[in-house]
Structure 1
Amino acid sequence: MGPLAPPEAFIGREAETALLRELVRKVATGHGGSLWVEGEPGIGKTSLVTVGLAEGHALGCRTMWATADEMSRHAPLHVLLDCLQVDPHDAGGRGTQISRLLRGAPGALGLTEPLWPAMEALLALVDELSTAKPLIMVMDDIQWADEASLLAWHRLAQVVEQQSLLLVAVSRPVPQREPVNRLRRSVLSHDAVLVSLGPLATDEVSELVTALVGGPPDTGLRHLADNAAGNPLYLREMLEVLLRQREAASDDGTPARLADSSATESGAAPWTVPAPSLSSVITRRLNFLPAEVLETLSAATLLGQEFMVTDLAGLLGASPSTMLSPLRYAIAAGVVVEHNRLLRFRHPLIHQALRDAIPPALRVALHRQAAEVLDKAGAPVERVAEQLLSGSDAVDGWTLDWTVGHAATLAHRAPEIAARLLQQVADHCAGTEPERWEVLTAALAKTLFRLGRNAEAERCAWQLLELAHDPERSAEMRWILARVLFSVGRNQQAVAVTEQALRAHPASMWRARLQALLAMFLRAEAGDVAAAESTARAALTLAEDVEDKFGIGYALCVVWLVEAVRRDFRSALATVNRALEVVGDDPEYRDLRSWALDNQIFTLQNLDRLSEAEASLHAAVTEAERGADPTQASLLIGTAVHYFWTGRWDDALTALASVVVEGPEVTHYGLREHGPILLYHGTAALIAGHRDDRDTARRHLEAGLAQPLVTVSDWENADFLLAAHALSAERDGDPTYARDLLATLLDIRPGQMTLIHQWLPDLVRIAVDLDDFKLAQKACAACATEAEAEAAYSDPARAVAAAERCRGLMAGDPEPLLAVADHYEAVSRPFERAQSLEDAAVLLARKRQTTQARTRLNEAVEMYAALGASWDIRRADTRARRYGVRRGVRGSRKRPSFGWEALSPTELKVARMVAEGMSNPEIATDLFLSRRTVQTHVSHILGKLGVHSRVEIATVALSHNGVRP
């Protein structure tokens, strides 16, 4: 929807108007911003924004506008789609793409969420539009917006400073909705401008009355205006009612002029408007419309703030041609306006007043009728469900039939709506129609599981299992129940539920899936790798027999788990590659493919095939951008871990910063498991600790250590946090505590995936320094065991190199350390190479080989400096100085923290692409990054350069003769 026409008379608000005009001028020059306008209904919020933004077109800006209504709450992304003028039902262009994404694919267990890729596509569209031309986006009556649109607005507000984008949110103080309150707090915490509109002053009210009635008000009219309490819309509507009253009472038919009214002896105007509320004033004004028009418009309110003529005709049981006369009258009267192929009520308060005037019982019946009309017209299932939820809790036969028939589609397209409607309808038929109750309750359990509402999903699944008659449905419920129980750490109960499901002799497909699930539980809970492998391979054979792609892929991923625990990474790679081949790129198996890709990347990393691992990471990012979960939280954390080991710490921090916290009360949106949160905080704390950024390290350590270790995923993702904690203790002068923390790695649970070899050289180093040779020997033995397991199956790689480091430290022999340093150089692991060179330098110094020690120390420090690892530099200097070895006078040059030289290599590439006018989606495609990661890079560039827009980035880049690498 485009910008609205300016109001007929706009009085006052000079300071607020000037503020908006300044924001428009800034966005026209490439400086983004965010504005939140709030005030009571009718106070003039929309008029202010319309007037304040009026110069945008002349300054080269594009303005896009949407107005939410009460029905908008139930339609995911509806308001954002409207604002960006994207019609998901359009046959071409963006509409086709968004429609395809919103339909998505339900997935093997209905777990793939189509909303996120559609949101990502819309946010990418904003990127493109704002890069091509300064963009102003207005969301009016945002208090009614759906949660997906609110989330998208939040995400835009987080990065608004790096786009030519002005976000304007317009809100009433009521109703109070927590998602809206959360958004308000979030945008204001990111420097949004807040404008709170109060009543017009007395002189402004008088001026407005003069403008509206054609002359200065008399005493009676001023008295009447006082009833408006400074509310411009209230005043306009009262004057309109009064004018119509006078026209109706005029004997000669001459137009009435309120300014000509004669006062009575008491000074009061001879006409009054008894209006206790704005709504009643609007209703009184609308009563001048013919009855046929009022009836038509009242019915239209049931369809929302905007409606299609054909839907309205169906609701009224009339042909569209009969709607022509009343709708033309309504348009002429200014009650509704045309908007694309739809009609829209001119003001939300008109829509609300007409809707509230319908008797509640009749309104319920009309909502039920509207649902059937929309269904016959082929409307999306979520629109039909909205009507059913807006009516009574009573459920009739048609509602029951429709909900049963559309449960799966509705749960996939709009899970929040589905959960409410499925619960309502299931409650209705409980005890009376057991078969339909089973269908509805099963769909409800899957929907709740998909929404992450584990306690409700568990309760629902148990309830169904008590009464279900369909063995296949029971098997599916036990699958979901076991997944829920395992995800919250109730592993033994998950095993019991799975075994019980298998004893019920389900059909082959579900038997295969349940056996694969049981294999995963056996590995995680009992640590019985052999039993897990035999069970997983039996599940694989059964799934192959019935040609169940999901079962085959799932069983292969469990076999991969067993092989990875055994450190048979060569076989593990073949297994996961086969899993990826089986599931292909079918969107139905998107979740399973994402898991398999994570496994592939992990395996390649442990084979030291880092370039291939990075290529897989790029493939995973591309796939996520194409349609998987665009929040990519787990993927981004995995990317950060990869960059940590390959020495790209700035890029690692960028990936972590891209794991967006979607508001003050929401933690790490998009993470289905708790474990990756520990890895998120651990990686961030470890990098900050090595860089001696104590505040950041402490913040992440406190947040990570506050998380409980409940599930297997928690234990397997906690090692980075443990290493960061030990590093903090050593840096704070407590090596004994650091040793004790790292020593806990020697007691990991059987069957656990955690790779301890990557941390054991630090444990050996600290233990030797503390003369704890018994513990050092134990750590060496543990590392050797892991290395032997790896070498038995694969070419010597990570664990073997770590074992050699431990051996050299324990023996005081620098030669193994120097050999390992060469290996790390060959496979591009600069941090571990620097550590090995530091340890070798210390051992050489201890042997009085001073020149060689200094050479190796300088090499180590140069590499640490490139990483920004200032704590490691200080530690290396301190250790070598004990034996009289100091670095040369040149030392290392630390990268500056501000200015062009502060940019990392990736940031330099991004800055130059920005200078070329490329949008974030274009840069993301070119660099094989996610769009969100590019946003984070741009944000870092703005901070390091001390600039405030993409235009200024381009100016700095061009001043440094930046050309694309």
Structure 2
Amino acid sequence: MRPVSPVFVGRQGETDRLRALARQAVAGHGVAVLVEGEPGIGKTSLLDRVAADCAGLGMRLLTGAAEDLEQQLPFSAIANCLGIGAATTDPELARVSGLLRGEQAFTQSLAAANHDFVITEAILDLFDEWFAQGPVALLLDDAQWADPQSLVVTHRLGRGIDQQPMLLVVATRSAPRAEAVDALERSLVARGGHVVELAPLPPSEVSTLAHDLLHADAGPRLRRLLATAGGNPMYVTELLAELSDEGALAERNGRVELVWNTDELAEGWVPPPLAEVILHRLACLPPGVRDVLQTAAVFGRTVDLTELSQVQGRPVAELAAVAASAVEAGVLTDTGTRLEFRQPLIREALAARVPPSARAALHRRAAQSLDAGGTGVERVAEHVMAGEDVDERTTQWLIGVADTLTARAPELAVELLQRALPTATRRQAGRLRLQLIRALLWRGEPAEAERLARDAVATGDDPACDGELRWLLAQTSYRRGHLRESLDVIQQALARPGLSEPERGRFHGFAAVCLFFLTRFDEARTAARQAVLAGEATGDARCRGIGDFALAMTMAMDGDLAQALAVNDRAIATLTEGVQPDLQVDPHTLRGMCLLELDRPAEAERALAAAIAGNRESGGAYLPMAHTLRARLLFLTGRWDDALVEIEAGADLPDLLGSAVRLRGMADLIAVHRGATVDPPTGPGASYPHHFSRWARALCVESQQGPAAAFELLCPAWEKAHGLEPRRLVYRVCADLARLAVATGDRDRARVLAREVDELVTPQAQPSLTATAQLCHGLADDDPDLLLAAAADYRAAGWPLYEGNAFENAAEVLARRDRPAQARQALDQALERYGALEATADADRAEARLRAVGVRRGVRGPRKRPKHGWEALTATEQRVAALVAAGMSNPEVAAQMFLSRRTVQSHVSSILGKLELNSRVELAVRAAERTAVRAGG
């Protein structure tokens, strides 16, 4: 008999379907596919066929598999697909590779979630750059073992896949598998993804498979036996190989038939389970080959000959010969870049033959050998974890690598540190406890970190670690939102002797931040100045920078925006190397806020672009806040479609500072101005989470119940403004509040409001604040000149909605004073501003108010922007479309326009929707055609 080798048979329908989807992806309309089935049903073989088709189509091919032993190693599955390993030298992968190694992670990120966000964004940037170069195929096998971070990346790739030239294929066992894999399937299918379920092969294809393996048809007895394999191609293949090895097959009359007699094969005999068939077959391998393969199987699906050489103390050349025999026997396969077990079931069967105690010993030996050989800490940690025991040598190794391991694999770090603590010496325990607290903070478990830190401070077992422990304890309380407890810890630390001056300055700076968010601004100012003084006395830039930042925040709350900007710029200049994550501050976001409040929108936009870029690079907690401020800027300056895109980009981020309620409120506000309705909060004790939400609802109530009800609903937004949302930041509601007060006939309340706004106005006040004071007085005193002056100042500030409001109010007053021509002119000005914003609710209200006093618009209003076609694109979208059509990737467009990649992606989605296109490729073609027509015309 000839030796049996694996072949691919059947699955023509599935192959054709995937081939068509690959061609669709090459044309620019990407798609995701989930391939599901039982072990051995042919998922891997189908992916191999798909890979060959994609390579033939000229796609960039990225293939890999998840490993069950790497489920605690973040991004391991996607790294396998990208080809990122310890020896990665590809410059395209350098940034992602460095991030995966955890380089400087603790100096750049606040926690594992932030670092994961940075890595995810970097990987998506990489894919965006590849998409601009050509079609991409990503094929991930054995996703049932994928780590959560890789599944998140896959989910994110699937979100915008229809715009990109990408085929994403994820193969997974039907069961058992984690809920995260089911969630991935739901998300991909919800966005148009396909599910391909591999059913058992029908009898005809089983016969074809047997013929291809045996090079002859199977006889009747053999066909009956193969039918017991349930149409599982791997089972058929292994069963035939087993029968061939046992000499149970013979060629008779041009067919291959069973030759066992009836004693050997009774009628109705059922073959053993697939795993037993595999084990029995592998037992026939030469002992030397089998022993090496069993060790390799314990270590994972990929066979690393260098690693095996280090562990077994055998030359790589000798092991290469063993691997060649295993490839010839069909146990291993050579992918061209790595050796791996041909089927997970083969590896599982081999590993199962190694007793648990022997497996643990192998892992312990591997950990020691690989550490001595300079292997990455996460790989060594995997072996340490599987080896179960943590001895003195392992504890010393763990103390030395804990920070690196925490950044790279926090789950492993926490479990190993917890395992090492009970048997550590007293001196070791102090250091291990510190590292465990940091690891728990990094993993996002501040409550457990705080409990451990409080216990350690209370016992005082290691005085040398006391200052560091108290710093971490203050951090844990702060991250849980327990600012008062954090402040207590800081004050206790400052009262103890032994702190160095830089440490004292750092604690004062941290205290200033806590005091600021507790709205104890005077105390925050004092603490900030102490931090600045400590920094100046010691030359510690970090103390000086955090002190200046906290000082600038208090100045901004006091309304001294120009001075706040100057002091904050000093902090930016001082903190040239950025801010450590254990003092999460962002002077760039504060700079953008100050410039926004000073009516310097162009500078504010640049500052916020820098803040977004910096936070995105580091996973900073202020990223949603920077998006929120930018959305507010776009709202005020009348770029509402762009504001909605910014809101969408910001709402999809980790939200540590409560920005989501501001973003939702702003989206509601735009919707209401454009004629939509927002519902009030519901449930027991329901309240408005932010004054934006209250404001939007009040405008709805005005049209439904009248101005009196709207005024009463909106009034608390102003009357209760305090703390971090003071009147100097909330005064924008006063334009509507004053109008509603007058509409109810209560000019006295309008006058009180005007005087309260006056209290905010200084000689250096920005045009928008001056305009708001003029508008309130103009409404209270029925003075059209003040209202027209307000319109002029709003124009200087660049606030078109408010300019329209001022013209609307002036038009009504002019009409009542029997100046119809001027009233009509003012109405036209208001409607022009509203029309440009598509603020239909405002336009309808203005026309109704003026009709009531006998005035109608003098000229036809501006033509509304169409919903579809090139004319439907905003100015920003037109620029994005031009750059995308020129072949730029999303990251390149983002850099060119000072936007985030997420914002660009949202713009591209909007552009494709308005142009009724399906992909960026179609956009490039349509843009080229349009340019040619224009040139010819």
TM (normalized to structure 1)?
Answer: 0.89
Does residue 508 (structure 1) correspond to residue 481 (structure 2)? The answer is no
Quote the residue 1:671 is aligned against.
655
Does residue 456 (structure 1) correspond to residue 426 (structure 2)? The answer is no
Deviations 1:525-555 (A, max 9, x none): 3x43222211221122123333333332222
Contact 1:924 1:931 in 2 (8 A): yes
Contact 1:942 1:948 in 2 (8 A): yes
Which residues of 2 match residues 584-663 of structure 1 at below 5 A?
584=576, 586=577, 589=580, 595-624=586-615, 626=617, 628=619, 632-659=623-650
Deviations 1:252-276 (A, max 9, x none): xx99998133475699589978422
Distance 1:548 1:589 in 2: 13
Quote the residue 1:128 is aligned against.
129
Between 601-610 and 745-754, the greater mean CA deviation after superposition: 745-754
Distance 2:477 2:620 in 1: 23
Distance 1:174 1:702 in 2: 42
Quote the residue 1:244 is aligned against.
245
Contact 1:246 1:256 in 2 (8 A): no
Residue 799 to residue 878, structure 1, CA distance change in 2 (3 Å) = same
Q: What is the deviation of 1:592? A: 5.9
Does residue 355 (structure 1) correspond to residue 329 (structure 2)? The answer is no
Equivalent residue for 1:413, pick from 408, 412, 420: 408
Which residues of 2 match residues 150-165 of structure 1 at below 5 A?
150-165=151-166
Q: What is the deviation of 1:948? A: 0.9
Where does structure 1 lack aligned partners over 5 or more consecutive residues? 1-6, 661-667
Does residue 758 (structure 1) correspond to residue 741 (structure 2)? The answer is no
Distance 2:255 2:380 in 1: 47
Quote the residue 2:676 is aligned against.
693
Contact 1:739 1:763 in 2 (8 A): yes
Quote the residue 2:53 is aligned against.
55
Residue 459 to residue 367, structure 1, CA distance change in 2 (3 Å) = same
Aligned residues: 925
Distance 1:298 1:283 in 2: 11
Q: Which amino acid aligns with 1:906?
A: T
TM (normalized to structure 2)?
Answer: 0.92
Contact 2:220 2:257 in 1 (8 A): no
Does residue 287 (structure 1) correspond to residue 318 (structure 2)? The answer is no
Q: What is the deviation of 1:346? A: 2.0
Distance 2:780 2:418 in 1: 64
Distance 1:223 1:496 in 2: 79
Q: What is the deviation of 1:567? A: 0.5
Does residue 423 (structure 1) correspond to residue 421 (structure 2)? The answer is no
Contact 1:658 1:933 in 2 (8 A): yes
Equivalent residue for 2:257, pick from 244, 256, 260: 260
Contact 1:381 1:410 in 2 (8 A): yes
Between 25-34 and 727-736, the greater mean CA deviation after superposition: 727-736
SS, match of residue 767 in structure 1: helix
Q: What is the deviation of 1:245? A: 1.0
Contact 1:21 1:52 in 2 (8 A): yes
Distance 1:706 1:94 in 2: 54
SS, match of residue 246 in structure 1: coil
Between 810-819 and 217-226, the greater mean CA deviation after superposition: 217-226
Quote the residue 2:779 is aligned against.
809
Does residue 880 (structure 1) correspond to residue 850 (structure 2)? The answer is yes
Does residue 921 (structure 1) correspond to residue 891 (structure 2)? The answer is yes
Distance 2:198 2:934 in 1: 48
Distance 2:540 2:685 in 1: 38
Q: What is the deviation of 1:438? A: 2.6
Contact 1:522 1:531 in 2 (8 A): yes
Q: Which amino acid aligns with 1:519?
A: A
Does residue 317 (structure 1) correspond to residue 300 (structure 2)? The answer is no
Q: What is the deviation of 1:377? A: 1.9
Between 858-867 and 89-98, the greater mean CA deviation after superposition: 89-98
SS, match of residue 140 in structure 2: strand
Distance 2:904 2:621 in 1: 13
Q: What is the deviation of 1:707? A: 12
SS, match of residue 313 in structure 1: helix
Residue 90 to residue 265, structure 1, CA distance change in 2 (3 Å) = closer
Distance 2:48 2:270 in 1: 29
Equivalent residue for 1:396, pick from 374, 388, 391: 391
Between 48-57 and 861-870, the greater mean CA deviation after superposition: 48-57
Between 444-453 and 105-114, the greater mean CA deviation after superposition: 105-114
Contact 1:683 1:721 in 2 (8 A): yes
SS, match of residue 35 in structure 1: strand
Distance 2:268 2:426 in 1: 64
Q: What is the deviation of 1:170? A: 0.7
Between 106-115 and 437-446, the greater mean CA deviation after superposition: 106-115
Q: What is the deviation of 1:37? A: 1.0
Residue 91 to residue 196, structure 1, CA distance change in 2 (3 Å) = closer
Residue 284 to residue 405, structure 1, CA distance change in 2 (3 Å) = same
Does residue 25 (structure 1) correspond to residue 28 (structure 2)? The answer is no
Which residues of 2 match residues 464-479 of structure 1 at below 5 A?
464-470=456-462, 473-479=465-471
SS, match of residue 892 in structure 1: coil
Distance 2:709 2:202 in 1: 68
Q: Which amino acid aligns with 1:534?
A: T
Quote the residue 1:541 is aligned against.
533
Q: What is the deviation of 1:60? A: 3.2
Residue 226 to residue 261, structure 1, CA distance change in 2 (3 Å) = closer
Distance 1:776 1:232 in 2: 82
Q: Which amino acid aligns with 1:104?
A: E
Q: What is the deviation of 1:569? A: 0.6
Does residue 566 (structure 1) correspond to residue 558 (structure 2)? The answer is yes
Q: What is the deviation of 1:453? A: 2.6
Deviations 1:349-376 (A, max 9, x none): 2222222221111112222222222222
Q: What is the deviation of 1:168? A: 0.7
Equivalent residue for 1:868, pick from 835, 838, 852: 838
Q: What is the deviation of 1:654? A: 1.1
Equivalent residue for 1:521, pick from 504, 511, 514: 514
Quote the residue 2:194 is aligned against.
193
Equivalent residue for 1:98, pick from 93, 96, 99: 96
CA RMSD, aligned part only?
3.1
Quote the residue 1:556 is aligned against.
548
Quote the residue 1:769 is aligned against.
743
Residue 727 to residue 365, structure 1, CA distance change in 2 (3 Å) = farther
Does residue 897 (structure 1) correspond to residue 903 (structure 2)? The answer is no
Deviations 1:176-195 (A, max 9, x none): 22322222221111110111
Residue 110 to residue 16, structure 1, CA distance change in 2 (3 Å) = closer
Distance 1:582 1:341 in 2: 48
SS, match of residue 861 in structure 2: coil
Q: Which amino acid aligns with 2:18?
A: L
Distance 1:604 1:693 in 2: 31
Residue 840 to residue 643, structure 1, CA distance change in 2 (3 Å) = same
Which residues of 2 match residues 167-186 of structure 1 at below 5 A?
167-186=168-187
Residue 630 to residue 486, structure 1, CA distance change in 2 (3 Å) = closer
Equivalent residue for 2:697, pick from 701, 720, 725: 725
Quote the residue 1:665 is aligned against.
none
